[in-house]
A = this chain, B = another copy of it.
Amino acid sequence: MEASRPDTATRILDVSERLFVEHGFEATSLRMITQQAEVNLAAVNYHFGSKDALFESVFMRRLAPLIASCLAELDELEAREEKLSVESLVTTFIRPCLALSKDPARGGALFVRLLSRTLVENHRLLRETISQQYSVFVQRYSRAFHHALPELGVEELAWRMHFAFSVMFNAFAGNDVLKIFTRSQIVSARDPDMIVKYLVPFVVAGLVSPVEG
Protein backbone atom coordinates (compact mmCIF):
# COMPACT_ATOMS: atom_id res chain seq x y z
CA MET A 1 0.00 0.00 0.00
CA GLU A 2 1.21 3.44 -0.81
CA ALA A 3 1.44 6.42 1.48
CA SER A 4 -1.90 8.18 1.27
CA ARG A 5 -1.70 11.57 -0.31
CA PRO A 6 -2.23 14.28 2.33
CA ASP A 7 -5.22 16.53 1.95
CA THR A 8 -5.04 19.75 -0.01
CA ALA A 9 -4.44 22.08 2.92
CA THR A 10 -1.55 19.97 4.21
CA ARG A 11 0.03 19.68 0.78
CA ILE A 12 -0.11 23.45 0.49
CA LEU A 13 1.45 23.91 3.92
CA ASP A 14 4.28 21.48 3.19
CA VAL A 15 5.20 23.01 -0.15
CA SER A 16 4.84 26.55 1.15
CA GLU A 17 7.17 25.87 4.04
CA ARG A 18 9.89 24.75 1.68
CA LEU A 19 9.38 27.51 -0.87
CA PHE A 20 9.15 30.29 1.71
CA VAL A 21 12.51 29.10 3.05
CA GLU A 22 14.11 28.80 -0.36
CA HIS A 23 12.88 32.03 -1.93
CA GLY A 24 11.34 34.09 0.85
CA PHE A 25 7.77 35.19 1.23
CA GLU A 26 7.66 37.87 -1.42
CA ALA A 27 9.48 35.87 -4.07
CA THR A 28 7.25 32.84 -3.61
CA SER A 29 4.12 33.06 -5.73
CA LEU A 30 0.88 31.22 -5.20
CA ARG A 31 1.32 29.76 -8.65
CA MET A 32 4.64 28.20 -7.67
CA ILE A 33 3.06 26.78 -4.54
CA THR A 34 -0.08 25.37 -6.09
CA GLN A 35 1.81 23.97 -9.05
CA GLN A 36 4.28 22.04 -6.90
CA ALA A 37 1.56 20.98 -4.51
CA GLU A 38 -0.48 19.80 -7.48
CA VAL A 39 -3.56 21.67 -6.35
CA ASN A 40 -5.64 24.34 -7.98
CA LEU A 41 -4.53 27.94 -7.79
CA ALA A 42 -7.69 28.98 -5.98
CA ALA A 43 -7.17 26.38 -3.26
CA VAL A 44 -4.93 28.67 -1.23
CA ASN A 45 -7.50 31.41 -0.99
CA TYR A 46 -10.24 28.89 -0.38
CA HIS A 47 -8.49 27.11 2.50
CA PHE A 48 -6.47 29.93 4.04
CA GLY A 49 -8.08 33.15 2.85
CA SER A 50 -5.00 34.91 1.58
CA LYS A 51 -1.28 34.54 1.03
CA ASP A 52 -0.60 36.35 4.30
CA ALA A 53 -2.86 34.02 6.25
CA LEU A 54 -1.17 31.06 4.59
CA PHE A 55 2.16 32.28 5.86
CA GLU A 56 0.83 32.55 9.37
CA SER A 57 -0.51 29.00 9.19
CA VAL A 58 2.80 27.68 7.89
CA PHE A 59 4.58 29.43 10.69
CA MET A 60 2.39 28.57 13.63
CA ARG A 61 2.14 24.89 12.71
CA ARG A 62 5.78 24.47 13.71
CA LEU A 63 6.37 27.21 16.25
CA ALA A 64 3.74 26.23 18.80
CA PRO A 65 5.04 22.65 19.29
CA LEU A 66 8.65 23.82 19.39
CA ILE A 67 7.97 26.36 22.11
CA ALA A 68 5.91 23.80 24.00
CA SER A 69 8.79 21.31 23.84
CA CYS A 70 11.27 23.81 25.21
CA LEU A 71 9.02 24.77 28.08
CA ALA A 72 8.30 21.11 28.83
CA GLU A 73 12.02 20.40 29.04
CA LEU A 74 12.38 23.40 31.29
CA ASP A 75 9.55 22.18 33.54
CA GLU A 76 11.07 18.75 33.79
CA LEU A 77 14.51 20.10 34.57
CA GLU A 78 13.29 22.46 37.26
CA ALA A 79 11.28 19.65 38.87
CA ARG A 80 14.32 17.38 38.87
CA GLU A 81 17.17 19.65 39.94
CA GLU A 82 17.42 22.19 42.68
CA LYS A 83 20.33 24.20 41.28
CA LEU A 84 20.27 24.41 37.48
CA SER A 85 23.49 24.32 35.52
CA VAL A 86 23.87 26.66 32.57
CA GLU A 87 24.66 23.74 30.32
CA SER A 88 21.47 21.94 31.23
CA LEU A 89 19.48 25.10 30.60
CA VAL A 90 21.06 25.53 27.21
CA THR A 91 20.24 21.94 26.46
CA THR A 92 16.54 22.45 27.14
CA PHE A 93 16.55 24.75 24.16
CA ILE A 94 18.92 22.83 21.97
CA ARG A 95 17.34 19.42 22.35
CA PRO A 96 13.94 20.36 20.89
CA CYS A 97 15.68 22.25 18.09
CA LEU A 98 17.80 19.21 17.40
CA ALA A 99 14.81 16.89 17.45
CA LEU A 100 13.00 19.18 15.05
CA SER A 101 16.03 19.36 12.77
CA LYS A 102 16.20 15.58 12.53
CA ASP A 103 12.49 14.98 11.95
CA PRO A 104 11.53 15.41 8.30
CA ALA A 105 7.89 14.84 9.22
CA ARG A 106 7.95 18.12 11.07
CA GLY A 107 9.81 20.01 8.40
CA GLY A 108 13.29 19.13 9.57
CA ALA A 109 15.70 22.01 9.64
CA LEU A 110 13.44 23.94 7.29
CA PHE A 111 11.42 25.63 9.97
CA VAL A 112 14.39 26.99 11.84
CA ARG A 113 15.52 28.56 8.59
CA LEU A 114 12.05 29.93 8.05
CA LEU A 115 12.07 31.39 11.53
CA SER A 116 15.42 32.92 10.77
CA ARG A 117 14.24 34.46 7.53
CA THR A 118 11.11 35.76 9.16
CA LEU A 119 13.08 37.31 11.96
CA VAL A 120 15.41 39.12 9.62
CA GLU A 121 12.56 40.18 7.38
CA ASN A 122 10.81 41.64 10.42
CA HIS A 123 7.35 40.40 9.55
CA ARG A 124 4.30 41.99 11.04
CA LEU A 125 3.35 38.51 12.25
CA LEU A 126 6.36 38.39 14.55
CA ARG A 127 5.96 41.88 15.89
CA GLU A 128 2.29 41.49 16.75
CA THR A 129 0.86 38.02 17.11
CA ILE A 130 3.78 35.99 18.35
CA SER A 131 5.30 38.44 20.76
CA GLN A 132 2.02 38.45 22.66
CA GLN A 133 1.46 34.71 22.65
CA TYR A 134 4.92 33.56 23.59
CA SER A 135 6.37 36.21 25.83
CA VAL A 136 6.29 33.55 28.55
CA PHE A 137 9.12 31.84 26.67
CA VAL A 138 11.55 34.65 27.33
CA GLN A 139 10.30 35.18 30.85
CA ARG A 140 10.84 31.56 31.80
CA TYR A 141 14.34 31.44 30.39
CA SER A 142 15.23 34.79 31.91
CA ARG A 143 14.24 33.58 35.37
CA ALA A 144 16.02 30.28 34.94
CA PHE A 145 19.25 31.86 33.75
CA HIS A 146 19.04 34.42 36.49
CA HIS A 147 18.99 31.63 39.07
CA ALA A 148 21.83 29.81 37.36
CA LEU A 149 23.94 32.97 37.01
CA PRO A 150 22.99 35.13 40.01
CA GLU A 151 26.21 37.14 39.87
CA LEU A 152 25.19 38.75 36.58
CA GLY A 153 23.28 42.00 36.51
CA VAL A 154 20.02 42.07 34.61
CA GLU A 155 21.52 44.05 31.76
CA GLU A 156 24.55 41.85 31.34
CA LEU A 157 22.36 38.74 31.55
CA ALA A 158 20.00 40.09 28.90
CA TRP A 159 22.91 40.67 26.55
CA ARG A 160 24.42 37.26 27.14
CA MET A 161 21.09 35.57 26.53
CA HIS A 162 20.72 37.63 23.40
CA PHE A 163 24.10 36.47 22.16
CA ALA A 164 23.54 32.87 23.21
CA PHE A 165 20.19 32.45 21.50
CA SER A 166 21.52 34.30 18.49
CA VAL A 167 24.35 31.87 17.93
CA MET A 168 22.28 28.77 18.69
CA PHE A 169 19.57 29.93 16.45
CA ASN A 170 21.83 30.71 13.52
CA ALA A 171 23.68 27.46 13.96
CA PHE A 172 20.50 25.47 13.48
CA ALA A 173 19.36 27.72 10.69
CA GLY A 174 22.65 27.09 8.90
CA ASN A 175 23.32 30.79 8.53
CA ASP A 176 27.03 30.74 8.04
CA VAL A 177 28.40 34.24 7.74
CA LEU A 178 31.77 33.00 6.62
CA LYS A 179 30.35 30.98 3.76
CA ILE A 180 29.74 34.31 2.08
CA PHE A 181 33.43 34.61 1.57
CA THR A 182 34.49 31.09 0.81
CA ARG A 183 33.27 28.26 -1.29
CA SER A 184 34.11 25.61 1.28
CA GLN A 185 30.95 24.23 2.77
CA ILE A 186 32.67 22.31 5.55
CA VAL A 187 30.73 23.99 8.27
CA SER A 188 27.44 24.23 6.45
CA ALA A 189 27.37 20.56 5.53
CA ARG A 190 25.73 20.18 8.86
CA ASP A 191 25.18 17.04 10.76
CA PRO A 192 22.94 18.35 13.55
CA ASP A 193 24.76 16.30 16.17
CA MET A 194 28.06 17.84 15.09
CA ILE A 195 26.58 21.27 15.57
CA VAL A 196 25.71 20.48 19.15
CA LYS A 197 29.09 18.97 19.93
CA TYR A 198 30.77 22.30 19.30
CA LEU A 199 27.85 24.62 19.90
CA VAL A 200 27.10 23.83 23.53
CA PRO A 201 30.63 24.41 24.87
CA PHE A 202 30.90 27.65 22.94
CA VAL A 203 27.63 29.04 24.22
CA VAL A 204 28.15 27.89 27.78
CA ALA A 205 31.62 29.43 27.89
CA GLY A 206 30.23 32.77 26.80
CA LEU A 207 27.39 32.64 29.29
CA VAL A 208 29.44 31.71 32.34
CA SER A 209 32.51 33.82 31.63
CA PRO A 210 33.48 35.92 34.65
CA VAL A 211 32.29 39.51 34.71
CA GLU A 212 34.95 42.06 34.03
CA GLY A 213 36.18 44.21 36.87
A residues adjacent to B (C-beta < 8 A): 22, 24, 26-27, 116-117, 119-122, 126, 130-131, 134-135, 137-139, 155-156, 158-163, 165-167, 169-171, 173, 175-183, 186-187, 194, 198-199, 201-209, 212
Contacts and interface: CB of A to CB of B under 8 A. Distances in A.
Contacts of A159: 187, 194, 198-199, 202
Copies in the complex: 2
28 contacts: A22-B122, A24-B24, A24-B121, A117-B120, A117-B121, A119-B180, A120-B120, A134-B180, A138-B181, A139-B182, A158-B186, A158-B187, A159-B187, A159-B202, A160-B198, A162-B171, A162-B178, A162-B187, A165-B177, A166-B170, A166-B171, A166-B175, A167-B167, A167-B170, A169-B177, A201-B206, A205-B205, A205-B209
Interface of A is mostly: helix
A176 to B, nearest CB: 6
Which of A167, A169, A199, A204 is packed against the most chain B CB atoms within 10 Å? Answer: A167
